Amino acid sequence: MKIIHAKDYEDMSRKAANIISAQVILKPDCVLGLATGSTPIGAYHQLIKWYEKGDIDFSQVHTYNLDEYRGLSHDDVQSYHYFMRDNLFDHINIDQANTHVPDGSNLDAAAACGEYDRIVAAAGYPDLQLLGIGNNGHIGFNEPDDHFSAGTHCVDLTESTIQANSRLFEKEEDVPRQAYTMGTQTIMYARMILVVANGEKKAQAVRDMCYGPVTPSCPASILQLHTNCVLVADEAALSLCPAE
């Protein structure tokens, strides 16, 4: 795993956006796997600025998001579909028909997950998959478990993840308890994986991801086995990692 050191959140966001923009410039019709959460917002906003300057063109790009809350419609302001429109899609020239998020409104988990697996496979899997990392080492909504997951599936969110996401809701009890997420096997099919991490709360997870044993108790640790994985993290997130 290649580790790129950033001074702070702004520097991390700019460096990550540079990698994403290079992918789009080199392959204008690329497939991007995208993530939600607070960590990638800065990178998305940087990409918007470069688009507005005319430096990057998203008109041929296709995107596939990692996950979505089960039970939320695309128009729900707490849905990840809404999040992506608000933080990226509505501000660039991407064809909305080329953007894909699991269908949280479909309560038939087997049907929703099977359909998402089908379209991601038909797209040939991402050229670049953007990931954040949870405080407990989760990627997407793949929570610590006794095995690595395969395809898209429905997960019960852990209490720590519910608490971490509650800042985005009025009350903790409003946070959905389940989500649809790409599996770790699907994530590993991406040709390049870009992980972003910031803040000391992520430090232990980042250390376990990069230097701990490969174990489903830290889902992100499987990324050690990927042939082209890049981590961009700030000083706080890297504070427990060995000095290089």
3-state secondary structure 130-194: EECCCCCCCECCECCCCCCCCCCEEEECCHHHHHHHHHHCCCHHHCCCEEEECCHHHHHCCCCEE
- Three-state DSSP class for 59? coil
Task: Give residue 64's pLDDT.
Answer: 98
pLDDT tens for 2-20 read: 999 999 999 999 999 999 9
Asked if residue 67 has pLDDT above 70, the reply is yes
Task: Give residue 243's pLDDT.
Answer: 80
Place 176 in a pLDDT band, splitting at 50, 70 and 90.
Answer: confident
Q: Could you tell me which residue, 109 or 163, shows the higher pLDDT?
A: 109
Place 172 in a pLDDT band, splitting at 50, 70 and 90.
Answer: confident
171 contacts: CB under 8 Å, gap ≥ 6: none
Q: In whole angstroms, what is the distance from residue 175 CA to residue 157 CA?
A: 10
Catalytically annotated residue among 67, 103, 117, 208:
67
Handedness of CA 46, 49, 51, 53 (dihedral sign): negative
Active-site residue, 235 included: no
Place 244 in a pLDDT band, splitting at 50, 70 and 90.
Answer: low
Task: Give residue 124's pLDDT.
Answer: 98
Active-site residue, 100 included: no
Q: What does pLDDT average to over the chain?
A: 95
Place 167 in a pLDDT band, splitting at 50, 70 and 90.
Answer: confident
Task: Give residue 140's pLDDT.
Answer: 95
pTM of whole model > 0.85? yes
Asked if residue 168 has pLDDT above 80, the reply is no
Task: Give residue 170's pLDDT.
Answer: 76
> What's the average model confidence in pLDDT over 140-160?
92
Handedness of CA 91, 97, 98, 101 (dihedral sign): positive
Active-site residue, 65 included: no
Task: Give residue 40's pLDDT.
Answer: 98
Catalytically annotated residue among 136, 142, 165, 198:
136
From 35, 34, 36, 46, select the one nearest 9 (Cα to Cα).
46
Catalytically annotated residue among 68, 117, 127, 143:
143
> What's the average model confidence in pLDDT over 91-111?
97
Catalytically annotated residue among 62, 81, 100, 138:
138
Asked if residue 159 has pLDDT above 90, the reply is no
Task: Give residue 158's pLDDT.
Answer: 82
Place of tokens 């946070």: 175
Active-site residue, 11 included: no
